[in-house]
């Protein structure tokens, strides 16, 4: 981890109930040696007093673009910052920053900086899950902002769900990480990720499918792009895929189309992440016409599809890291470990889809990471973006270990 001694951090605080936790973040940054300049929005001042930050931070609180003592404060703050952290970041801040609006000192400072930006969203679950908010976060992440949280937990008013501000220690860790340059550790790498469930047609109308939403695969794509990778995202839900720079989306429907796309793209990829739920069997032949009820229950004969992950395990290029997923309902570790070996993957991301708030269509997940060297890590319930971060951290580690063994450096 980096050292914050002497680093200039602008701490932006917006008007959400979690603003009181920014006080703790401020204190931790100062304790770690940083010079903290607090910028509070008008909304933030309704939740916490300027005097609190005046007492704890390294400079007086600033709230306005129109300060006579201190002309053009946003350029001074933005240009002088080593990093900016916005904690909490409300839906409005995310929207303004995404669209380049600079109506107040904080948004103007964000536009006037080239320093890394850490955004810590916090809001009610309904707001966090709005497509508009999710899209803003994806775009900002793809432009290089480090998104920390939100966590799942108790929210204002007693509700439970995703939207709680990340822990202050995690926020300070993220500031250290971006300052250490760790934010772009996939620069120059190509990441191939699959997402969603395949659909195997029975007739022109019906298909055999599964409950995968593509959310975990898409979160991996966004996280990899945010870390500097060129991302190829083969998705069965291309309309739900992130439409952001750095991610090329290839839409597919069936297991055969996914296999074709992956086999074509994998040789150029440094990492392949098989997050898609691929059908193991498909109907033999597709009926030309819609099957009619009057004809009675159809007999559908099935044949196996290609196991794409196993194929990748056999045909991998030197140094390539291959990650598989295992959605299980029983014997999580045994089943996942068996898949790891049988398919020749470097890492298996296993989740128990029967556990609350995990797996299909949820915005959260909880996984166990098993690697081919016998390593195991538990990632507790968190947003799919955070799960993606842990998966990529583990995959990067594996690549470094491979390289170290082969005496190579990157
Ligand atoms: N997978 C694949 N091609 C298939 C089936 C699965 O590439 N035809 C990949 C998935 O993308 C996932 C991993 O293999 O990364 C495990 O998928 P899963 O469906 O859990 O495993 P299966 O081998 O199909 O085993 P089972 O259905 O018996 O649990």
Average pLDDT along the chain, 410 residues, taken 10 residues at a time: 80 96 96 95 96 95 83 84 96 97 94 94 94 92 89 83 91 89 84 98 96 94 90 96 89 98 98 98 94 92 98 96 96 96 98 86 89 93 85 95 82
Domains of the chain by residue range: 8-183, 190-405
| Residue 392, ligand 1, Cβ within 6 A | no
Q: Which of 57, 52, 62, 116 is nearest to 85 (CA)?
A: 116
Greatest Cα pair distance, the chain, in angstroms, is: 84
| Residue 348, ligand 1, Cβ within 6 A | no
Q: Would you state the pLDDT for residue 2?
A: 45
| Residue 282, ligand 1, Cβ within 6 A | no
What phi, psi does 217 have (nearest 5°)?
Answer: -65, -40
Structure-derived torsion over alpha carbons of residues 8, 13, 17, 22, reported in degrees to the nearest 10: 10
Instruction: Give me the residue label for tokens 């300052």.
Output: 179
Task: Reduce the DSSP state of residue 331 to 3 states and report it.
Answer: coil
| Residue 391, ligand 1, Cβ within 6 A | no
The Å distance, Cα 245 to ligand 1 centre, comes to 30
Q: Which of 133, 151, 171, 123 is nearest to 14 (CA)?
A: 123
Q: Which of 14, 167, 174 is nearest to 96 (CA)?
A: 14
The Å distance, Cα 361 to ligand 1 centre, comes to 18
Q: Would you state the pLDDT for residue 1?
A: 42
H or E segment to which residue 275 belongs = none
Task: Reduce the DSSP state of residue 341 to 3 states and report it.
Answer: helix
CA distance 174 to 183: 9
What phi, psi does 291 have (nearest 5°)?
Answer: -75, 135
Classify residue 197 by burial, with Cβ atoms within 10 Å: 0-12, 13-18, 19+.
Answer: buried
CA distance 64 to 31: 27
Task: Reduce the DSSP state of residue 33 to 3 states and report it.
Answer: coil
The domains spanning 8-183 and 190-405 adopt the same CATH topology: yes
The Å distance, Cα 174 to ligand 1 centre, comes to 34
Most ligand 1 atoms within 8 A of CB, residue of 234, 281, 307 to mutate: 307
- Write out the CATH class of domain 8-183: alpha beta
Q: Would you state the pLDDT for residue 22?
A: 97
Catalytic residue among 136, 210, 365, 403: 210
Most ligand 1 atoms within 8 A of CB, residue of 326, 345, 347, 353 to mutate: 326
Q: Would you state the pLDDT for residue 182?
A: 66
Q: Which of 291, 185, 279 is nearest to 236 (CA)?
A: 279
The Å distance, Cα 200 to ligand 1 centre, comes to 15
Classify residue 99 by burial, with Cβ atoms within 10 Å: 0-12, 13-18, 19+.
Answer: exposed
Query: Does residue 347 have a cis peptide bond before it, meaning omega lies within 30 degrees of 0?
Result: no
- Write out the CATH class of domain 190-405: alpha beta
| Residue 217, ligand 1, Cβ within 6 A | no
The Å distance, Cα 280 to ligand 1 centre, comes to 7
């Amino acid at each position: 981890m980096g050292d914050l001694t002497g680093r200039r951090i602008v701490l932006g605080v917006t008007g959400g109930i979690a603003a009181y936790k920014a006080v703790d973040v401020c204190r931790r940054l100062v304790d770690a040696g940083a010079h903290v300049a607090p910028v509070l929005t008008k909304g933030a001042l309704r939740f916490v007093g300027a005097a609190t930050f005046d007492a704890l931070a390294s400079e007086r609180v600033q709230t306005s673009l129109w300060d006579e003592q201190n002309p053009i404060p946003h350029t001074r703050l933005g240009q002088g910052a080593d990093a900016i952290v916005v904690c909490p970041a409300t839906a409005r801040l995310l929207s303004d920053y995404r669209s380049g609006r600079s109506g107040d000192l904080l948004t103007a400072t964000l536009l006037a900086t080239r320093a890394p930006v850490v955004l810590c969203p916090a809001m009610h679950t309904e707001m966090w899950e709005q497509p508009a908010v999710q899209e803003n976060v994806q775009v900002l992440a793809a432009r290089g902002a480090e998104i920390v949280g939100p966590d799942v937990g108790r929210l204002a008013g007693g509700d439970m769900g995703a939207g709680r501000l990340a822990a202050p220690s995690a926020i300070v860790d993220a500031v250290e990480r971006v300052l250490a340059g760790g934010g772009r550790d996939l620069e120059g790498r190509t990441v191939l990720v699959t997402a969603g469930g395949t659909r195997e047609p029975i007739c022109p109308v019906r298909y055999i499918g599964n409950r995968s939403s593509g959310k975990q695969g898409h979160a991996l794509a966004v996280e990899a792009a945010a870390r500097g990778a060129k991302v190829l995202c083969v998705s069965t839900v291309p309309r739900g895929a992130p439409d952001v720079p750095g991610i090329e989306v290839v839409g597919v429907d069936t297991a055969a189309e996914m296999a074709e796309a992956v086999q074509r793209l994998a040789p150029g990829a440094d990492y392949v992440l098989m997050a898609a739920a691929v059908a193991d069997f498909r109907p033999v032949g597709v009926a030309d016409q819609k099957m009619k009820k009057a004809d009675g229950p159809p007999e559908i004969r099935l044949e196996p599809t290609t196991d794409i992950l196993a194929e990748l395990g056999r045909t991998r290029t030197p140094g390539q890291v291959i990650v598989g997923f295992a959605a299980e309902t029983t014997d999580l570790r045994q089943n996942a470990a068996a898949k790891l070996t049988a398919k020749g993957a470097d890492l298996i991301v296993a989740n128990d889809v029967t556990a609350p708030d995990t797996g299909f269509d949820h915005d959260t997940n909880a996984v166990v990471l098993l690697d081919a060297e016998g390593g195991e890590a538990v990632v507790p319930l968190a947003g799919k973006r955070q799960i993606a971060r842990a998966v990529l951290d583990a995959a990067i580690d594996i690549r470094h270990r491979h390289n170290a063994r082969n005496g190579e450096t990157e």
